[in-house]
Amino acid sequence: MKILFLPNWRVKKCTEIPKDKQPPDYYVKGQDYWFFRYFKEKPEVDVLDISSAGWIENFEKNKIRFYVIQALRAIPKLNKYDLVVSHGMQSGVVVSLWRRLFKTKAKHIVFDIGAFNSAAESGAALKLMQFASRSIDGFIYHTSSQIEYYKKCFPWIVDRSRFVRFGTDSEFFEIEDAGDTADNKNVSEKPYCICVGYSKRDWDTLIKAFELAGQDNLTLKLVGHVDDKYKSVSNVEQIGFVSINELKKLIAGSKFGILPLKSYNYSYGQMTLLQQMAMHKCVITSKVPSLADYFEDGVTAYSYEPENAEELAEVIKRANNDNAAREAMAARAEQYVKFENNERVMAMKIEEVIKNIR
């Protein structure tokens, strides 16, 4: 089977595996790409990413919110493939519109990460997505509650949709390969917890909760986010963008992680949660639809009601001070990702979806 994969991010083309990138972010020609390497029946996969002139890419991402140049490059090639896989409707909408008008050899599957247009229930964008969706042969979604949105706004795709939990690369995110850990790091450094994310994090609730928790023996490191209004907050360190290797070191050295999200009915935060769980970390996360399928409260992660700073503060104190409970949770979380919710398991489910569409 020949597959054209359209990711909604940049992918580095390499002649050998780079040391500073994880599998979704690089493509070595002649080698199996990302989760496809776990398929029993190995397909031939070509990757066409969103790369274009900087101003065009920025306009597509931030203004119109879908990728036209990528689709225009893909459309002339569609009849050379058996299947096109779009990761996100941003990379799927133009192709699906084309296929509504013209028949192609290639079938089309979309990983619906954002519930089409952030689960909007009205507006011109919804009507566009409804029109485009009718040509798509299959949908994979990572948040089980999205099916209720489909039933309401896209009932014709319900039978073509399949819930598959996102899985992280448990081998890439191994604590042994990450350098310093909370147990062997420089003893002169103050213990810290970590919040990772470049967007869509509820930093205001987190900062308020951290202040309420009053843990003077603990630093909070915000990785990926810098905001002037947090600069004067005691025991908060802001770190901008870091490489994947540096991120692994920061996670490894942390005491625990915090993932503060607001409640939206689409997929986000799952990668961050699973990466830290895979690296033997206790994580505190909000009870939101996107993560409901990915942890057991009090068993593999702590949780709190979204935007509830008082409750989060209490959980921070518990995670910081109950060493035995925190370590037991971290161990269960690591095993959960290693054996139940990883990239290999996800790939097996995706392969089943593809076989049914063929």
pLDDT tens digits along 17-36: 998 899 999 999 889 999 99
pLDDT category of residue 189 using cuts at 50, 70 and 90: confident
Which structure tokens are listed for 204?
Answer: 């205001």
Under 8 Å between Cβ of 93 and 116: no
Q: Tell which residue, 195, 175, 186, 130, has the closest CA to residue 156.
A: 130
Which structure tokens are listed for 236?
Answer: 């908060």
Q: Tell which residue, 221, 216, 166, 232, has the closest CA to residue 197.
A: 221
Kind and range of the H or E run holding 34 = none
Q: What is the mean pLDDT of residues 171-186?
A: 66
pLDDT category of residue 175 using cuts at 50, 70 and 90: confident
Q: Give the integer Cα–Cα distance in Å for 139 and 120.
A: 18
Which structure tokens are listed for 84?
Answer: 């096109």
- Using one digit for the tens of pLDDT, what is the confidence trace for 74-110? 999 999 999 999 999 999 999 999 999 998 999 999 9
Q: Tell which residue, 280, 279, 277, 281, has the closest CA to residue 291.
A: 277
pLDDT category of residue 181 using cuts at 50, 70 and 90: low
What's the CA dihedral at 86, 39, 104, 52 to 10 degrees?
Answer: 40
Q: What is the CATH number of domain 2-167+342-357?
A: 3.40.50.2000
Q: What is the mean pLDDT of residues 267-292?
A: 98
Q: What is the pLDDT of residue 185?
A: 52
Q: Give the integer Cα–Cα distance in Å for 41 and 358.
A: 13
What architecture is the 175-339 domain classified under in CATH? 3-Layer(aba) Sandwich (3.40)
Helices then strands, each counted (H, E), the chain: 12, 14
Q: Give the integer Cα–Cα distance in Å for 330 and 324.
A: 10
Residues of the chain with CATH 3.40.50.2000: 2-167+342-357, 175-339
pTM (two decimals): 0.94
The DSSP 8-state label assigned to residue 256 in this structure reads -
At 250 the three-state DSSP class reads helix
Distances (CA, A) of 12 to 3, 26, 85, 235: 18, 4, 18, 37
pLDDT category of residue 44 using cuts at 50, 70 and 90: very high
Q: Give the integer Cα–Cα distance in Å for 76 and 64.
A: 22
Residue 251 has pLDDT above 80, yes or no: yes
**Strand ranges (E), the chain:** 2-7, 12-14, 26-28, 44-47, 83-87, 107-111, 138-141, 161-163, 192-196, 219-223, 236-239, 257-259, 283-286, 302-304
